[in-house]
């Protein structure tokens, strides 16, 4: 398991598709928003939490199809399925690797981008917290979507169509935490809901992912 994790991290670093790409995409989306809505500080600071969340979600989506597709194409997945590692574990570890290469950098970069979006000072803690608790769910749900579409050529678009509706509860609670935080309200309830979603998906979805992977390998 740890071997699989280190391998995936190493692959992400060497191929350059992992850390860099998602993060740059996050940056670009956030930079585009002021061009779209105008440079007013008041407006930007009001929409900052939501923009940061939607941008993080899209950045996460960008690298989802790599979770299983590459291993499927070169036959690694066949061999992993016949190895002593349980496929559920493989699915969970792959989601974890995706989070470490995509989700975690987003969490760390969010405060800097918050500055660009003139996020109120009280909003920095909540945005980091909400992304920290929310992005694991994004990775795990995304891994399930990637497992569903692994056998489909050019399944990227379909993957987005399948995964985005599943992202909605996470987005709603995550953005709510960030918004309430920025407005100086109490954000404990949505934060707990968000953490609950992350914990539940983390516990259950790898089983669904493994099931559909087995079907796709048939």
Q: Which residues bind other proteins (CB under 8 A)?
A: 2-4, 7, 10-11, 14-15, 71, 73-76, 78-85, 144, 148-149, 151-152, 155, 158, 161-162, 164-166, 168-169, 172-173, 176, 190, 193, 197, 205, 208, 211-212, 215-218
What backbone phi and psi angles, to 5 degrees, belong to 38?
Answer: 100, 160
How far does CA 31 lie from the centroid of its chain? Answer: 19
Residue with smaller CB distance to other proteins, 25 or 144 = 144
From the CB of 57, what's the least distance to other proteins, in Å?
A: 14
Residue with smaller CB distance to other proteins, 21 or 148 = 148
From the CB of 25, what's the least distance to other proteins, in Å?
A: 21
Residue with smaller CB distance to other proteins, 11 or 116 = 11
Tokens coding 193: 């809901």
Q: Write the DSSP string, 106-127.
A: HHHHHHHHHHHTT--GGGHHHH
For 16: left if phi > 0, alpha if psi spans -120 to 50, otherwise beta; the answer is left
From the CB of 39, what's the least distance to other proteins, in Å?
A: 26
From the CB of 52, what's the least distance to other proteins, in Å?
A: 17
12 and 19 Cβ atoms separated by less than 8 Å: yes
Task: Tell me if residue 99 falls in helix, strand or coil.
Answer: helix
């Amino acid at each position: 398991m740890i071997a699989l994790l280190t391998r995936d991290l190493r692959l992400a670093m060497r191929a350059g598709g992992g850390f860099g790409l998602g993060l740059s995409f996050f940056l670009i989306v956030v930079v585009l928003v002021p061009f779209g809505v105008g440079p007013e500080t008041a407006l930007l600071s009001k929409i900052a939490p939501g923009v940061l969340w939607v941008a993080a979600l899209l950045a996460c989506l960008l690298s989802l199809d790599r979770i299983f597709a590459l291993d499927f194409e070169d036959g690694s997945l066949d061999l992993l399925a016949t190895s002593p590692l349980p496929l559920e574990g493989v699915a969970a570890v792959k989601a974890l690797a995706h989070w470490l290469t995509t989700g975690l950098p987003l969490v760390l970069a969010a405060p800097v981008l918050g500055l660009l979006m003139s996020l109120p000072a009280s909003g920095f803690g909540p945005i980091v917290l909400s992304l920290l608790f929310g992005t694991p769910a994004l990775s795990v749900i995304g891994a399930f979507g990637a497992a569903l579409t692994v056998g489909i050529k050019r399944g990227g678009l379909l993957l987005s169509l399948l995964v985005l509706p599943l992202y909605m509860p996470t987005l709603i609670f995550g953005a709510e935490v960030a918004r309430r935080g920025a407005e100086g309200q109490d954000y404990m309830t949505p934060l707990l809901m968000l953490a609950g979603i992350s914990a539940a998906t983390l516990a259950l979805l790898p089983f669904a992912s493994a099931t559909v992977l087995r079907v796709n390998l048939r």
